[in-house]
């Protein structure tokens, strides 16, 4: 039985891009929880947050994680907050290996600051909001991860190669 490879980490850590390329390399299905939530709700993440609120979003996120983890042999990229609920972590860890894509705050913020599709940053002080979230979550990512990959100075391809080596041993 092949395990799921689950990519976790803060916004901007490259989970979706790395996941897509990794799945291609490993010739297995790729699932992105944010995309699945958008398909299920027929709305963009920002619209879901605006119309129904974060807790509605988190409930759908948990439901999707429960569903996707029923299968194995997939690469799953999770939204940055997916690990905040223990039940999600438990589902993801069952038959899955959790890989934390790690990078310093400055690198992450640089990657996300120009995009408007992250509702948690729609605040008066987006950088401060992002930093507060990052500081609060770092220890959670570290704690739940089975493996950590530093992505700060790496291309997507290099990160994919590194993960492939780690999971194929």
Residue 79 CB-density burial (10 A; 0-12 exposed, 13-18 middle, 19+ buried): buried
Strand partners, 5: 75, 97
Cα distance between residue 62 and residue 89, in whole Å: 10
Measured in whole angstroms, the distance separating CA 23 from the mean position of its chain's CA atoms is 15
Q: How far is the CB of 45 from ligand S3P (least distance, A)?
A: 5
Cα distance between residue 98 and residue 89, in whole Å: 9
Q: Is 75 in the site for ligand S3P (CB under 6 A)?
A: no
Q: Is 7 in the site for ligand S3P (CB under 6 A)?
A: no
The dihedral of CA 5, 165, 146, 83: what is its sign? negative
State both tokens at 39. Answer: 């398909």
Q: Is 96 in the site for ligand S3P (CB under 6 A)?
A: no
Size of the site for ligand S3P (CB under 6 A): 11
| Contact with ligand S3P (CB under 6 A) among 26, 79, 91, 96 | 79
Q: Is 120 in the site for ligand S3P (CB under 6 A)?
A: yes
Euclidean distance between the first and final Cα of the chain, in Å? 15
Residues 25-64 that bind ligand S3P (CB under 6 A): 34, 45
Stretch that binds ligand S3P, among 78-86, 101-109, 141-149, 156-164 (CB under 6 A): 78-86
Q: Is 109 in the site for ligand S3P (CB under 6 A)?
A: no
Choice between 11 and 145, CB closer to ligand S3P: 11
For 3, phi then psi, to 5°, come to -75, 160
| Contact with ligand S3P (CB under 6 A) among 26, 30, 65, 80 | 80
Residues that bind ligand S3P (CB under 6 A): 11, 15-16, 34, 45, 79-81, 118-120
């Amino acid at each position: 039985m092949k395990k799921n490879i689950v990519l976790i980490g803060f916004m901007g850590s490259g989970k979706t891009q790395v996941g897509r390329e990794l799945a291609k390399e490993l010739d297995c299905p790729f699932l992105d929880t944010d995309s699945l939530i958008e398909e299920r709700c027929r709305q963009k993440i920002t619209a879901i947050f605006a119309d129904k609120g974060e807790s509605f979003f988190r409930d759908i996120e948990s439901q999707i994680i429960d569903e996707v983890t029923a299968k194995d042999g997939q690469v799953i990229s999770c939204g940055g907050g997916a690990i905040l609920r223990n039940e999600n972590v438990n589902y993801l860890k069952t038959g899955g290996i959790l890989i934390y894509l790690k990078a310093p705050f400055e690198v992450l913020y640089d990657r996300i600051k120009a995009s408007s599709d992250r509702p948690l940053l729609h605040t008066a002080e987006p950088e401060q909001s992002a930093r507060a979230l990052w500081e609060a979550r770092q220890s959670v990512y570290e704690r739940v991860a089975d493996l950590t990959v530093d992505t700060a100075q790496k291309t997507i391809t290099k990160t994919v190669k590194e993960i492939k080596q780690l999971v194929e041993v």
